[in-house]
Structure 1
Amino acid sequence: MTEPAPDPLDELRARLAAFPAGEVMTGTVAGFGERGDVLVRLDGDDPQAPTGRIARHLLSWAAFEHPSEMVAVGRRITAEVLGADEHKGEVTLSAKACEDEALYRHLLRNRPGDVVTGTVAAVHNFGVFVRLDGEPPHPAYPGTGFIRVPDLTWSRIDHPKDVVRPGQRVAGEVIGTDTHQGEVVISLKALQKDPWDALAPGVGDVTTGPVTKVLPFGVFVRVGEAAEGLVHVSDLGGQVVREGQELAVRILEIDRARRRIRLAPAS
């Protein structure tokens, strides 16, 4: 009996499975794509069918007009595997991730759950850069640590500068590392107590707290240590309130799953 011919897709899947995400691979530059991508013949590839591809923005931290300024055909190259696309038969790579060996080792040393310390290097509306203790110089950013805005605090804020300032010492928990951005993603909030765990008032209770935000649809009032609830504009009855004003409110509903509290004026 003649055995059925191997399924080319199964063969391709088996070949791509040899390149798991996060693995560091070596190969040879085979050419350049139309969009400035770099084609790589990974070690073990068919010489006539290179499967590695490095997108232009993942080639180097340095600025360049064309990738040929950074690498030449035939040059050996080291890159981290991002993933495999079985439809295209390609392995997506990042050479930038491995370009700075000291930075790469630093990123891999920081694991989720670790507590790290450092100094705030820059504060932007999209997040905060932190110069972590013992880090190597970053090729592009003011620090290897990065705090996303939602990871700064449990409280509602308008801008990260409401929480931290350049030069401030901070401690945070590592959420993960991003080798392609060269960042250790950390959270200050992870080391703070969740105010919802200590939320004492219940539905029907009357409490007093400061108005933290005035918006067209209502006002937010702090309930307990840091949790906030909304008084809808329709429940204010035309009452004018301002930020910082103490307001007596009655708790109408507590939705712990969605972290929402609905309030109404107590009087």
Structure 2
Amino acid sequence: HRKARTIMAWDRVNAAHDKEEVVTGFVKCRTKGGMIVDVFGIEAFLPGSQIDVKPIRDYDQYVGKTMEFKVVKINHEFKNVVVSHKALIEADIEEQKKEIISQLEKGQVLEGIVKNITSYGVFIDLGGVDGLVHITDLSWSRINHPNEVVELDQKLNVVILDFDDNKSRIQLGLKQLEKHPWDALGDEIKIGDKVKGKVVVIADYGAFLEVAEGVEGLIHVSEMSWSTHLRSAQDFVKVGDELEAVVLTLDREDRKMSLGIKQLTPDPWTDITSKYPVGSKHEGIVRNFTNFGVFVELEEGIDGLIYISDLSWTKKIKHPSEFVTVGDTLEVEVLELDVEGRKLSLGHKQTTDNPWDKYEKEFALGTVHKASISEIVDKGSVIDFNEDITAFVPQRHMEKEDGKKLTKGEEAEFKIIEFNKEFKRVVASHTSIFREEEQRNVKAAKKKAAASAEEAKPTLGDANVQLQALKDKMEADKKK
């Protein structure tokens, strides 16, 4: 009897599959990936994806229920039967979908259920037809994620904003059902007023301050500080900060507002001439440097430039980074002040005495100093007399008395043959020391030789005596 019932059950299941009939089954229990359903006494498998058209989060709610199914697959070899409840729903939904799509119009308000939430928006089930509410159309205020506004299975009204030609992609809006916050903004707010708000977004160029729900104003980075040396907005504010700002511009038609926070403090350039007169000395912080100099901040809003040539009296600096780093405290002197152009020219070396005034006497032309060859270069060598004075020795002036050349690290005496304070150029010579000595010796020898020759030269009187002696001798020879 049991075997006969089983055979009859299989015949009924096959007939239902072939004729696509709807069968009734009892959901017995959960299993991996779906449910077990009793159909005509046969245990059939109901996959989780075939329970409903929407994603199922709670499978247990179906256990113990009698439901209608459609037999979608039979495996005779393994005696497996697969059924679907979703297939029945889809047939009904398809009819509803056609009816809904035919009636869709822009601006139409429909009720839907939140079907899925993603980072970029929310999918709404409009009764067989899905539409997307983009994250920017959920709220007039800025939100980081749609789940701040809606939740799954929530019923809500949405408005149709747009759709494609075949109405397969429907764009919905939620915030459009509410009055725009700018329309509710009070007429009492005007340019020059102070407003309070919260920083909601930060970019490099500025920060957006929400002064009312859905109403934002931009604080450009140039309006955050009186400083002309612009920095990133992150240096001044962070998201979530509660700030007070001044309304600079207000355009209700375009719904734009620009704000400023530097206007809450007095402009430091108003009394610049009394605070930073030319010749006064101050301390500042290195904020930035370029190839040609260093920007130093004396106080918030007061920046000055030190040209690279005004950093040191003695060091030859190719780039300011060789001398200072950002954040260093530097002593400076005000060299020039342009109030209209809001420019300060500063100097660092001017805060100390120029050591070249002292060195001009110490290393005067012709003075001799001892030093070692510190570096050999293409056209000569370099020697360091001290930490400030570096001299160049040309190739021909490196020759020693024995004819050999000076080598790196070798110590010797050097004579200053050029000293230029303006261009900080010092040229020295080792060769000229003994060459001049040789020249002096040669001159002395020539002078001595000339003197000896002068002494040996016969006079006119000597010649007459010698001539008379010669005559006397000749006469005596004749007499003999």
Query: Residue 182 and residue 248 in structure 1: after superposition, are their counterparts in 2 closer, same or farther (change >3 A)?
Result: same
Partner of 1:257: 340
Match of 1:229 among 304, 323, 340: 304
Secondary structure of 1:154 counterpart: coil
Name 1:12's counterpart in structure 2. Answer: none
Q: Which position in structure 2 is the counterpart of 1:176?
A: 249
Identical aligned pairs, as a percentage?
A: 29
Contact preservation (8 Å) 2:219, 2:258: yes
The correspondence of residues 95-244 of structure 1 with structure 2, limited to 5 A, is: 102-106=181-185, 108-132=187-211, 135-137=212-214, 143-155=215-227, 156-199=229-272, 200-224=275-299, 226-237=301-312, 238=317, 240-244=323-327
Q: For 2:286, what is the secondary structure of its paired residue?
A: strand
**1:256 maps to amino acid:** V
Q: CA deviation at 1:236?
A: 2.4
TM-score relative to the length of structure 2: 0.32
Q: How far apart are residue 182 of structure 1 and its match?
A: 1.7
Match of 2:32 in 1: none
Q: Name the stretch that deviates more: 104-113 or 159-168.
A: 104-113
Residues 169-194 of structure 1: per-residue CA shift (max 9 Å, x gap): 10011112123542221110111222
- Unaligned stretches of 5+ residues in structure 2: 1-139, 141-159, 165-177, 353-480
Q: Against the structure 1 CA distance between its residues 230 and 107, is the aligned structure 2 distance closer, same or farther, given a 3 Å change threshold?
A: farther
CA distance in 2, matches of 1:244, 1:230: 15
Q: Structure 1-normalised TM-score?
A: 0.56
1:103 Cα shift? Answer: 1.0
> Which amino acid in 1 is paired with 2:252?
T
Partners of 1:180 and 1:107 lie apart in 2 by 14
Structure 1 distance, partners of 2:244, 2:311, is 41
Tell me which residue corresponds to 2:11: none
Bigger proportion of residues as helix: 2
**What displacement does 1:165 show?**
0.4
The 2-side partners of 1:263 and 1:173 are apart by 33
Aligned AA for 2:248? I
Report the 3-state secondary structure (helix = DSSP H, G, I; strand = E; otherwise coil) of the residue aligned with 2:219.
strand
Structure (1 or 2) with the larger CA radius of gyration: 2
Q: Residue 130 of structure 1 contacts residue 144 of structure 1 at CA under 8 Å; is this kept in 2?
A: yes
Contact 2:196 2:245 in 1 (8 A): yes
CA deviation after TM superposition for structure 1 residue 136, in Å: 3.8
**Aligned residues, how many?**
169
Task: State the alpha-carbon separation in 2 of the partners of residues 244 and 102 from structure 1.
Answer: 44
Over 3 Å counting, the alpha-carbon distance change for 1:211 and 1:105 in structure 2 is same
Deviation, structure 1 residue 232: 1.1
Which range moved further: 252-261 or 239-248? 239-248
- Distance in 2 (CA, whole Å) between partners of 1:101 and 1:119 is 19
- Which residue type is aligned with residue 346 of structure 2? L
Separation (CA, whole Å) in 2 of partners of 1:158 and 1:209: 17
- Give, in whole Å, the separation in 2 of the partners of 1:136 and 1:161: 23
Query: Is the Cα contact below 8 Å between 1:107 and 1:183 reproduced in 2?
Result: no
1:246 aligns with 2:329: yes
Q: Is the 8 A contact 2:225 2:301 kept in 1?
A: no
After superposition, the C-alpha distances for 1:190-242 in whole angstroms (9 at most, x for unaligned) are 11222223541210111121111122221011224541100012322426111
CA 161–203 in structure 1, closer or farther in 2 if over 3 Å, else same: same
Matched with 1:57 is: none
Change (3 A) 1:120 1:225: closer
Give the secondary structure class of the aligned counterpart of 1:122. strand
The answer for unaligned runs of 5 or more in structure 1 is: 1-60, 67-98, 138-142
* Inter-partner Cα distance in structure 2 for 1:194 and 1:128: 21
Distance 2:299 2:334 in 1: 12
* Structure of greater relative contact order (alpha carbons < 8 Å, 6+ residues apart): 1
Give the match for residue 51 of structure 1: none
Partner-residue secondary structure (3-state), 2:270: helix
Other structure's SS at 1:113 match:
coil
Deviation at 1:262, TM superposition (A): 0.4
Two-structure CA RMSD over aligned residues (Å): 2.8
Code of the aligned partner of 1:255: D
Encode CA deviations 1:241-264: one digit per residue, 9 max, x unaligned: 111111111111111111100011
Instruction: Report SS of the residue matched to 2:185.
Output: helix
